[in-house]
Amino acid sequence: MVNLNVNIDKLKLKNPIMTASGTFGYGPEFDDFIHVDDLGGIVVKGTTGKHREGNPYPRMAETPMGMLNAVGLQNVGVDHFISDIYPQIKDYNTNVLVNVSGSTIDEYLEVAEKINALEKIPGIELNISCPNVKEGGMAFGTSCPSAQAVVEEVRKVYKKTLIVKLSPNVTDVTEIARVVTEAGADALSLINTLLGMAIDAEKQSPILSTVTGGLSGPAVKPVALRMVWQVANAVDVPLIGMGGIRNATDVIEFMLAGATAVEIGTANFVDPQVTVKCIDGIKAYMQRHGVDDVNELIGALRK
Amino acid sequence: MKQIIDFTVVSNKTLNHEHFVLELKPDKPLPEISAGQFVEVRVDGSENTMLRRPISVHDVDYDKNILSLFIKKVGEGTRHLSELTEGDNLNLILPLGNGFTIPDSSNVLLVGGGCGVAPMLYLARKIAEKGLRPFILLGGKTKTDISGIAAYQAFGKVAITTEDGSEGEKGFVSDHPWMKQETPDFKLLYACGPEPMMKAVNDFGKKHEIDTEVSLEHTMACGFGACLTCVVDTTKGHQLTCKDGPVFNTKELKW
């Protein structure tokens, strides 16, 4: 029997496989395909203070080995989440984390404080890296002073595990990683989507209603791996790696680069069972390599 | 319940330069599928076709356990599908979306234009299963756009329009006498096709206070409510084509 348990701060994960916010709904969307309880954790849709309609259609463009999205944080808002969604998902036997977003520090604080009161939500992922909203989001995560400010303030009101999700749209990801860790983040997750653009040459117009959007999928994996490796060498908190993961080999690569766990995103759209296939694949890899404890793989990259 | 099922291609029939019908046999019995629902087809073999393609269910034969998809060649994914041959494998997620309302009366009109004929055959079959014979109006640019009429005739009264008059009445579907009636007796209208066509059907419905159901098509990444990219502007705000649709009563749309 191999050990797949890993810890992210106080969170105990039965395996390193989590799902990325915005790609897994609230969980029940996948009940027909998998047992959500089999996963190490799920991160539900980015939640803001007020209900958000998101951006106009079209919001998606397929690109080589990836996709751009410009959903723009469409969500029901924190109060509706608490009254209508939380009761449906609180009894999942896995770590159900909420991705917390906002346009202002006050909005982040409002959402974080309200989620803090939910018994069955053991942690939040602070989204300071959404590239698809006009205000807030990535604006907080791409400058050190604003990243520090939002994390420090949220840390004061949020008492459980605080994960901060980093943007790749920065000159040096390690600078932001250091700042938010010093500001009180218990763990970091990376990377959010890369800002990109798609053009319809026939129509000579942008494909997305917002012109630019966030790139995800296998196309971004090398960038994500590089950033996880850089951040692992810069800070001492656990990392959750993500970006283009679609099989167990990808998961292992992120762990070798320094991730304690991973989030799977875009691949859920193509194969809604990809997460559980990755768990099986990790076990097979460990047996093949004589690894008894998955923790031995974290940051084990040979140089 | 939504399922992920492996299918084998039984046949691939070319209808004209842009349309083809795939007949697919699953490796287990087909799940219950409503008229108007769709499938998400996985297209392998290219770095440009990572995502699945949403395709309407054209027909279901439960006796033979065969699913038919009517597909238009649009880009690389559907072109790849058009090249499949007997024995090839295809992975589908199904059934997805809501579905059309099945009426209690034969006085309903089904209007399909171009690729929008796709869901109309199965809808006609489902209505005929109740012992009813609906009116079916199929429109195209030219006669090669219209095919397999006998299959529709088995389920209802069929009329054709083509823009060049090479088959049936000359003009758009909205030019057909059925849609020119002063006092139509239709209880419900169904439309699928180009947006101007669906809007013309909706205008006819509005004028005579007849409910209209349309099947919408939008780009999407998942097909089951997770990616939130296939949004439609409705009276209830943004709704999802994949989950709240693809069939909408036009009263819900901002048309």
Instruction: Check residue A68 and give its pLDDT.
Output: 98
Query: Could you report the per-residue pLDDT of B83-117, keeping only the tens digit for each?
Result: 999 999 999 999 999 999 999 999 999 999 999 99
Q: How far is B17 from chain A (nearest CA, A)?
A: 20
**Mean of pLDDT values over A132-144:** 77
Interface test with B, best of A269, A271, A274 (most B CBs within 10 A): A269
Instruction: Check residue B147 and give its pLDDT.
Output: 87
Instruction: Check residue B110 and give its pLDDT.
Output: 98
Contacts of A157 (CB under 8 A, 6+ apart): A109, A112, A113, A116
Q: What is the C-alpha to C-alpha distance for residues B20 and A247, in angstroms, rounded to an integer?
A: 34
Low-confidence ranges of chain B (pLDDT < 70): none
Task: Catalogue the E-assigned strands of chain B.
Answer: 3-14, 19-26, 38-41, 53-61, 66-72, 89-96, 108-113, 135-140, 157-162, 169-170, 188-192, 211-215, 231-234, 237-240, 247-249
Spell out which residues of chain B touch residue A71, defining contact as CB-CB under 8 Å.
227-229
Contacts of B102 (CB under 8 A, 6+ apart): B35, B126, B127, B130
Query: Could you report the per-residue pLDDT of B53-73, keeping only the tens digit for each?
Result: 999 999 999 999 999 999 999
Q: Is A91 strand, coil or helix?
A: coil
Q: How far is B158 from chain A (nearest CA, A)?
A: 35
DSSP letter string, B125-183: HHHHTTT---EEEEEESSGGG---HHHHHTTSEEEEEETTSSSSEES-GGGSGGGT-SS
Of B42, B225, B238, the CB nearest to A29: B225
Of A54, A62, A272, the CB nearest to B228: A54
Q: Do residue A273 and residue B4 have CB atoms under 8 angstroms apart?
A: yes
Smallest CA–CA distance from A53 into chain B, residue:
B238
How is domain A6-55+73-197+216-297 classified at the architecture level of CATH? Alpha-Beta Barrel (3.20)
Q: Do residue A269 and residue B230 have CB atoms under 8 angstroms apart?
A: no
**Mean of pLDDT values over A89-114:** 96
Q: How far is A290 from chain B (nearest CA, A)?
A: 33
CB pairs under 8 A between A and B: 88
* B74 C-beta neighbours (distance < 10 Å), count: 11
Instruction: Check residue A219 and give its pLDDT.
Output: 98
Instruction: Check residue A42 and give its pLDDT.
Output: 98
Spell out which residues of chain B touch residue A56, defining contact as CB-CB under 8 Å.
231, 233
Name the interface residues of A facing B (CB cutoff 8 Å): 22-25, 29-30, 32-33, 45, 53-54, 56-62, 64-67, 69, 71, 74, 217-218, 266, 268-273
Q: Do residue A67 and residue B50 have CB atoms under 8 angstroms apart?
A: yes
Q: Are B234 and B245 in contact (CB under 8 A)?
A: no
Q: Do residue A57 and residue B218 have CB atoms under 8 angstroms apart?
A: yes
Q: What is the C-alpha to C-alpha distance for residues A228 and A213, in angstroms, rounded to an integer?
A: 22
Q: Do residue B231 and residue A59 have CB atoms under 8 angstroms apart?
A: yes
Q: How far is A98 from chain B (nearest CA, A)?
A: 15
CA angle A34/A269/B72 to nearest 5° reads 125
Let me know if A134 is exposed, middle or buried by CB neighbors in 10 A (0-12, 13-18, 19+): exposed
Instruction: Check residue B39 and give its pLDDT.
Output: 98
Q: Do residue B49 and residue A74 have CB atoms under 8 angstroms apart?
A: no
Instruction: List the domains of chain B with CATH numbers.
Output: 3-96 (2.40.30.10), 108-215 (3.40.50.80)
Spell out which residues of chain B touch residue A58, defining contact as CB-CB under 8 Å.
218-219, 229
Which residues of A are tagged catalytic? Answer: 130
Instruction: Check residue A136 and give its pLDDT.
Output: 67
Conformational region of residue A258, where left means phi above 0, alpha means psi within -120 to 50, and beta covers everything else? left
Q: What is the C-alpha to C-alpha distance for residues B61 and B82, in angstroms, rounded to an integer?
A: 21
Query: Could you report the per-residue pLDDT of A29-55, keeping only the tens digit for each?
Result: 999 999 999 999 999 999 999 999 999
Q: For this complex, say whether ipTM is above 0.90.
A: yes
**Mean of pLDDT values over A140-151:** 91
Q: How far is B116 from chain A (nearest CA, A)?
A: 20
Q: Do residue A269 and residue B226 have CB atoms under 8 angstroms apart?
A: yes
Instruction: Check residue A139 and give its pLDDT.
Output: 77
Q: Do residue A59 and residue B50 have CB atoms under 8 angstroms apart?
A: no
Query: Per the structure block, which two tokens stand in for A65?
Result: 């080995």
Q: Is the dihedral of CA A95, A96, A99, A105 positive or negative?
A: negative
Instruction: Check residue A129 and give its pLDDT.
Output: 83
Conformational region of residue A251, where left means phi above 0, alpha means psi within -120 to 50, and beta covers everything else? alpha
Instruction: Check residue A135 and give its pLDDT.
Output: 67
Smallest CA–CA distance from B239 into chain A, residue:
A53
Q: Do residue B229 and residue A270 have CB atoms under 8 angstroms apart?
A: no
Interface test with A, best of B43, B229, B240, B241 (most A CBs within 10 A): B229
